[in-house]
Structure 1
């Protein structure tokens, strides 16, 4: 009896605490060297483990017995926010997957993930049938009803089969709109939009701890637009998203920051500043998030249409005496160029001589250049300034850690800001070629009303 009990006790850990594995195959194998596994949460991704990728593209990871069920992410290259894919881990099954750079992610083993893949493929096929029906121009109500009956039955079957599984939450959240009677394309599209968030609970932790809400919100805001009035559509969609999120402050903060950053990166200042001013800035203040407050503020202050942030610099007067002046005190030109550069920036060193040659062809009344070097080496900068005597030179000590660079939201050099006579930002050309074209257009179109009324 004692031997039998000891034998059963020996088996107990392997029964109750069996480790599950994630096995994968990357293709083409030579493109992959490593795989890092992260657990996705509402605020961040938590590192779990990693594995080297073998020469044949295979890898294997072991999950701990107490691995938290939910969405996990495998990162396979840098930057990790671009080279990754997500999947479900319930810690009740082994997972075997394949990831191909061309065909994407598939699963050989995993009930949760195979079911979700099957669900998404089924919806894609039915949506293709819906598009084909509308494109055909037919008004066959029986055929129309048949397609949507299939859609409704498919949704119900997947919800039923997935009951009790993690994937059930995602399937129910993705429940599509099904019209009761025939609808033309504009009506159908309008109803899809108005019902978009109907089945999504922004307070659901499973949805929060995944990329589902992020992707859904981005698809909505960017997808449902009037191309003839895109910015108005974007801002209206943002308002709808905020209403749909409801009283879920943590996820609201995260989603709005992602939306703000999306439009800020795309340099859509109208929409980014709308999100910042109407929603995100108040949230950042409530959270005492000074870093986010500064990012929003600096981005807005450096946007087209705003008066350029003021700053001090040293300048020589008519008697060659050095005095302190300010950007706001400059006078005598219809336009000013704020040019951010660095003595160690290869692109800057190519463009600044071209800028010098171009400025020589213009009068001081047409353009004045204020060149701000975001730099660390004051002696090297000073020596280089002698080659550009027509520029007003400013040393931006600290390089990226510089208050003027912050105020202008500069994230790279060279950066160009064209100001009008009253120091209002009117353009931010991408490079020297764009600057030349923009300034020539401004000079050519120097008509009454082009420039704001000059200060007296």
Structure 2
């Protein structure tokens, strides 16, 4: 027993030496409190640990000897998908860095991370030189060929330096299109677009485990333009090119990338583009993966797009002390309808609903009608509040966030507005009361 204990004690120094860390300093320190560390894989991010940010902005994650090499993600605020950065951990060295939300990340130690950062900086400087050449409309063809030569040699040099490192995956994937001879700006830009994805191994698990593929996807879709085409058409064409480039990767990875892209278009209110992604690519992927939640979300979004008929629901209308139940689709009392989802416990609603009332009072009764759907936990406060708005058609939506009408309309916040024409097609989805008034004021 004693011999075993002695052997264990002798092993302890080597075990401790095998431990490494990811540490750094955030600035300004007052903006940060806690940081989280995740090990990223192609499909999930596994939580590892967290650390408090000290008063001087410093933090440290200690990794045990069993921590696998790969891509690790440091999350420093919420939402996590927006406030994070990736680091390479090769299992052989500590990683030390500084981070500022304006200037970004700078690595103080870690051969791999510093190598990749140096490569990125060098290639960016060369790209800037090419941009300057064309912007200044220079005619010295030898000068441009010299820049291309420097770009080619720089790429080769860094690839050699990165042999047997994780960083090599990124350096090779970042390799740009480099002409072998002089090209005018029109030819060069065309070839940049044509060869944009040539050097990216979309099946690389290292790239799939980082934000690299998402960044390249977004850069291409939003950054590559075509002469004579509007943004919507251009985005759709770029998406088609990207989807062709990733056609051989696993369906689960396609889902991750295209959900990100779809959500980006949703956030930008680019419905035709979001529905293009859904109809041509993502809906099929969701069905293949039997992802009912995603299928429902895509279908609901499409059904609520401008020009589509609004989801139907029942309305109880009281007239001459008699109650009559009608469907939304059966209403014929106005040229336009405003559907507003609100709540008697929502402070924003209690500010905007009186403004809505004042606005519709200034319009002819047959021009505009409000259907106010109260998303409520119970009807007590709601019954009192609606007495102040006799001009509205009121609908009680019990269950609040789990109400069928609210769910059919994809409501996640109150107030939410929809403007319908007389045939109940969706005309607009104003963000707030001011936008609503501006839309209907026209």
| TM-score of the two chains, using structure 1 as the length reference | 0.92
Cα offset, 1:391, TM superposition: 0.8
8 A contact 1:202–1:251 mirrored in 2: no
Q: Matched residue of 2:230: which SS?
A: helix
Q: What is the rounded CA distance, in whole Å, between the counterparts of 1:423 and 1:11 in structure 2?
A: 76
Q: What is the rounded CA distance, in whole Å, between the counterparts of 1:7 and 1:381 in structure 2?
A: 74
* Deviation digits for residues 234-278 of structure 1 (CA, Å, limit 9, x no counterpart): 111111111100222121111111111111111111101111111
> Which of residues 245, 264, 267 is equivalent to 2:266?
264
Cα offset, 1:367, TM superposition: 0.8
Cα offset, 1:62, TM superposition: 1.1
Q: Matched residue of 2:168: which SS?
A: helix
> Do structure 1's residue 306 and structure 2's residue 308 form an aligned pair?
yes
Structure 2 residue aligned with 1:32 = 32
> Do structure 1's residue 408 and structure 2's residue 397 form an aligned pair?
no
> Do structure 1's residue 70 and structure 2's residue 104 form an aligned pair?
no
8 A contact 2:334–2:365 mirrored in 1: yes
Structure 1 residue aligned with 2:275 = 273
* Deviation digits for residues 179-217 of structure 1 (CA, Å, limit 9, x no counterpart): 122222222111111111101111111111111111111
* Deviation digits for residues 123-144 of structure 1 (CA, Å, limit 9, x no counterpart): 1110111111111211211101
Pairing of 1:210-289 with structure 2 (within 5 A): 210-226=210-226, 229-248=230-249, 249-289=251-291
Structure 2 residue aligned with 1:357 = 358
Q: What is the rounded CA distance, in whole Å, between the counterparts of 1:149 and 1:251 in structure 2?
A: 36
Q: What is the rounded CA distance, in whole Å, between the counterparts of 2:278 and 2:399 in structure 1?
A: 28
> Mean alpha-carbon deviation: is it higher for 117-126 or for 20-29?
20-29
Q: What is the rounded CA distance, in whole Å, between the counterparts of 2:87 and 2:103 in structure 1?
A: 16
Figure out how many residues of one structure are paired with residues of the other and give that number. Answer: 438
Q: What is the rounded CA distance, in whole Å, between the counterparts of 2:12 and 2:168 in structure 1?
A: 31
Alignment CA distance shift 1:411-1:267 (3 Å):
farther
Structure 1 unmatched runs, 5+: 442-456
Structure 2 residue aligned with 1:321 = 322
Structure 2 unmatched runs, 5+: none
Alignment CA distance shift 1:404-1:225 (3 Å):
farther
* Deviation digits for residues 375-428 of structure 1 (CA, Å, limit 9, x no counterpart): 212121111111111111011111111111122122221111111111111111
> Mean alpha-carbon deviation: is it higher for 238-247 or for 26-35?
26-35
8 A contact 2:71–2:86 mirrored in 1: yes
Structure 2 residue aligned with 1:21 = 21
Q: What is the rounded CA distance, in whole Å, between the counterparts of 2:425 and 2:163 in structure 1?
A: 59
Q: What is the rounded CA distance, in whole Å, between the counterparts of 1:68 and 1:16 in structure 2?
A: 16
Cα offset, 1:7, TM superposition: 7.4
Q: Give the ranges of 4+ consecutive aligned residues of structure 1 lying more than 3 Å apart after TM superposition.
A: 6-9
Pairing of 1:173-192 with structure 2 (within 5 A): 173-192=173-192
8 A contact 1:339–1:416 mirrored in 2: yes
Cα offset, 1:11, TM superposition: 4.4
Structure 1 residue aligned with 2:84 = 84
Cα offset, 1:20, TM superposition: 1.0
Q: What is the rounded CA distance, in whole Å, between the counterparts of 1:328 and 1:373 in structure 2?
A: 19
| TM-score of the two chains, using structure 2 as the length reference | 0.95
Cα RMSD over matched residues?
2.0
Cα offset, 1:300, TM superposition: 1.0
